[in-house]
Structure 1
């Protein structure tokens, strides 16, 4: 459909049924379809996002001086086909499009920047040192583990469950070529005082 105010399109959205007091389950959400105009309303001061998370998007219309039609951005977006985003402080323009855009919610986004700064700028270990990573199966932890492995460190990580250690998207899948990895923090007690990780 087309109108003077912009094209009107179908828009699938993921909506929370109610507050989820713990790990999010599929039953906590539902999918709905509504319509949305692909033009920012003149009187728009706020928008409502159903469920939000980090994402990559293409700007279809904008009244913001930093974001033009056709630009690609990454940051906090809605879990829907089209979003009206007014909180632009959570957005970053993508200048380099010669890599997969999905990298901007991983290695080139918040997880990658956090892992890089924490590992190289704060921790700054040397080859051969022991590095302990808590939450080694998470977005940041698994990247830190890969950085440590590339540097030649001995990596010890913890994860909250066996699935996070051995499942399809687990620590051992991400760091599977390590010569030796220990993923239960209790095993640290078996090490002598000389083998306690030097970087945590």
Structure 2
């Protein structure tokens, strides 16, 4: 059985991981958008846009952790539901942008200048997201908290998106096959659609989905 000191420690860990997730995604989003635009890489640009959406989601997660720390039996409140609605809508908008841009680039034969920074950013993101998943699962298991474990599973989706960016950027950098970057954009769109749907499912119920 956990002591009160251990409970406080793991709640602090969960909260600091949520704060770090917000700060990291903000920085990652800025860098990815800049290099995605400069290098004309749709996959990297879309990855950056997703990072900003994750910032909004992260604010809801941070609020959730504080809520369950103060009242473990409490249900999802209006702040979290609003954050989920905004996040879900933003994901759907991103899906439309990525799909339409990917198809247009494939049709016109547009190719990036380079995807070098996509490789660098995705590798860093895989390492960071892997660490966040481990830390969130540790805190969730120690606290026996389904909400925190669900957040860890959602962070896994960010890791999968990083892998998609790495594959598309790496293959293009090695082969120069033009449509690979656009396929990466479509891969990101698929995950973004799944996350958007998940957000609205959470709004409709008090269950914590597994992403």
- Common fold by TM > 0.5: no
Structure number having the greater helix percentage: 2
TM-score, normalising length from structure 2? 0.24
Structure number having the greater strand percentage: 1
Q: Which has the higher contact order (CA 8 A, sep 6+)?
A: 2
Structure ID, larger Rg: 1
